[in-house]
Amino acid sequence: MQIGFLGGTGIEGKGLAIRFAASDVSVVIGSRSRERGVETADRYNTILGRKSIQGMSNQEMLACCDLIFLTVPPQQAVAAIQSVHDHFRKGQILIDVTVPMLFRQGRAEYVEQEGGISNSEALAKHLPEGVQLAAAFKTIPAHVLEDNAESLNCNIFVCSDSEEARGAVIELAGILPAVRPLDAGNLITARTLERMTVLAVNLNRKYKKKGARYRIEGL
């Protein structure tokens, strides 16, 4: 299996890429600049201590990966998809991690989308036919992902309107140690997940921590 990152050069892509590569998954970092993709992959490989991550342009990454994380800023998600629209292939699964929020007076606030829908639902309409969308990994802080020495010890909520995509992403998430992926149902659940992230960010601020994340008891 080879997973890719559309915009894998930021902190969220970094944490996920290194965690999956450390679990022996083949990883490709995509970037708008091939050079930046290669240079970023080299840096991640140095952290990993082995050459498990490749760097490419986003277009090249889409040509060789079936499961692709969308790890760009939330307000750039549609533009990012549109810029490589014709390079997607039928059967690919896009995993959206974006959370639209802003900071006002020291607090995180959710950025409401028109019609009250989630960022995931908003970008779904821009995907080429045959590409399936899942929303997942939205509630894990990048700072935790980035510190590979820290056990994740949490749940990952996966939602999608495609049962096949949900199953594939649950299987993928289950590769990570100390992670229990949960089937969170249809894509509409992304509305809840995105807001849960805002709560976690504000709890971090209140309690002066960086690692607030979710673990459900009773399941």
Ligand X SMILES: NC(=O)c1ccc[n+]([C@@H]2O[C@H](COP(=O)([O-])OP(=O)(O)OC[C@H]3O[C@@H](n4cnc5c(N)ncnc54)[C@H](OP(=O)(O)O)[C@@H]3O)[C@@H](O)[C@H]2O)c1
Nearest-approach distance from CB 211 to ligand X, in angstroms? 10
Site string for ligand X, 38-57 (x = CB under 6 A): --------------------
Piece of the chain touching ligand X by CB under 6 A; list 16-24, 25-33, 165-173, 178-186: 25-33
**What SS3 string covers the chain?**
CEEEEECCCCHHHHHHHHHHHHCCCEEEEEECCHHHHHHHHHHHHHHHCCCCEEEEEHHHHHHHCCEEEECCCHHHHHHHHHHCHHHCCCCCEEEECCCCEEEECCEEEECCCHHHCCHHHHHHCCCCCCCEEEECCCCCCHHHHHCCCCCCCEEEEEEECCHHHHHHHHHHHCCCCCEEEEECCCHHHHHHHHHHHHHHHHHHHHHCCCCCCCCCCCC
Q: Which residue is nearest to ligand X (CB)?
A: 10
Piece of the chain touching ligand X by CB under 6 A; list 46-54, 66-74, 108-116, 156-164: 66-74
Q: Examine residue 117 and tell whether it contacts ligand X (CB under 6 A).
A: no
Q: Examine residue 79 and tell whether it contacts ligand X (CB under 6 A).
A: yes
* 5, 30 Cβ separation under 8 angstroms: yes
For the segment 150-189, give every residue that binds ligand X (CB under 6 A).
Answer: none
Cβ closest to ligand X, residue 46 vs residue 218: 46
Nearest-approach distance from CB 9 to ligand X, in angstroms? 4
Nearest-approach distance from CB 200 to ligand X, in angstroms? 8
For the segment 82-111, give every residue that binds ligand X (CB under 6 A).
Answer: 83, 97-99
Q: Examine residue 141 and tell whether it contacts ligand X (CB under 6 A).
A: yes
Q: Examine residue 71 and tell whether it contacts ligand X (CB under 6 A).
A: yes
Distance between CA atoms of residues 211 and 171, nearest Å: 24
User: From the list 54, 92, 189, 197, which residue makes contact with ligand X (rule: CB under 6 A)?
Assistant: 197
Would you say how long the chain is, in residues? 219
Sites of contact with ligand X (CB under 6 A):
7, 9-13, 31-33, 36, 71-74, 76, 79-80, 83, 97-99, 138, 141-142, 197
